[in-house]
Amino acid sequence: MPGLGTIVNALAIVAAGLCGSLFGGRIPARYQDTLMSTNAIAVLFLGIGGAVAQMLRAQADGTLLTTGTMMMILSLAIGCVIGEWFNLEDKFESLGQWLKQRTGNSHDNSFVDAFVTASLTVCIGAMAVIGSINDGILGDHSVLFAKAVLDFVIILIMTASLGKGCLFAALPVAFLQGTITMLASFLKPFITAAAMANLSFVGSILIFCVGVNLLWGKKIRIANLLPSLVLAMVWAFLPLA
């Protein structure tokens, strides 16, 4: 059944959000603060680890070679200009505000930030793309099932510390992965190893930015950096790549 992986992934996020909402309020404030900081640090290191894994290559003599820096710099620089031009961050927040009103959470001041932060965390990454392609073409749900487990843990912790807005991250996940699954046959030729490596590299940097915002408040308009993910994949097909 094509799309089953995305359905399971979205349901796992909803289940994690419900559990976090039910039990998060019972956690004392000081525990919630520590949990938030711990979650932020974990996200930071997930981003650092993913970026370093793509950026450094071991040579035969044991030295390390830095690769992909030009791709990373230009993708982020051009991507942020495109994102700012389309004002993606404000559109994302407007969606959060709409959900906040429609779901009866108008008095929840943290709803929008929770929704945006959680959505960016679980939508960015190569697993979403590769898993959705495999789901659509091969009927292989294993990658998205593994992602569902990871997302469950992430959203459970985020909901306990940020609020119930995290639960609604299931919507952009379902839309993004469902769209890729439906277009899998068309997208497959573009999902090369080099393109996925670039996506993982830049995606890991954006995940690091999510950790920065979690730990120090909103410093980076991450949604406006999302076009850099597409540019990173396009770079793999350029003659200079």
Q: Whole-angstrom Cα distance, residue 136 to residue 123?
A: 18
For residue 66, list its beta bridge partners: 56
Q: What is the pLDDT of residue 218?
A: 81
Stretches where the chain sits below pLDDT 50 are: none
Q: Whole-angstrom Cα distance, residue 19 to residue 160?
A: 8
User: Whose CA is closest to 157, among 11, 48, 21?
Assistant: 21
Spell out the domain ranges in the chain. 4-235
- The answer to whether 162 and 118 have CB atoms below 8 angstroms apart is yes
Q: What is the pLDDT of residue 85?
A: 96
- The answer to whether 123 and 172 have CB atoms below 8 angstroms apart is yes
Place of tokens 């370093």: 52
Question: φ and ψ at 57, to 5 degrees?
Answer: -130, 130
Q: What is the pLDDT of residue 240?
A: 67
Q: What angle do CA 121, 126, 129 make, to 5 degrees?
A: 100
Q: Whole-angstrom Cα distance, residue 102 to residue 94?
A: 12
Tokens of 89: 């961050």
pLDDT tens for each residue of 201-214: 999 999 999 889 88
Residue 58 exposed, middle or buried by CB count within 10 Å (0-12, 13-18, 19+): exposed
Global confidence as pTM: 0.85
End-to-end, the C-alpha distance of the chain in Å comes to: 37
Q: What is the pLDDT of residue 236?
A: 93
Give the helix ranges, DSSP H, for 65-223.
69-86, 88-102, 111-123, 126-137, 142-162, 170-182, 184-187, 193-216
pLDDT tens for each residue of 44-87: 998 899 899 888 887 777 787 888 999 999 999 999 999 999 99
3-state secondary structure at position 164: helix
Q: What is the pLDDT of residue 157?
A: 86
Place of tokens 């790549």: 241
Q: What is the pLDDT of residue 228?
A: 95
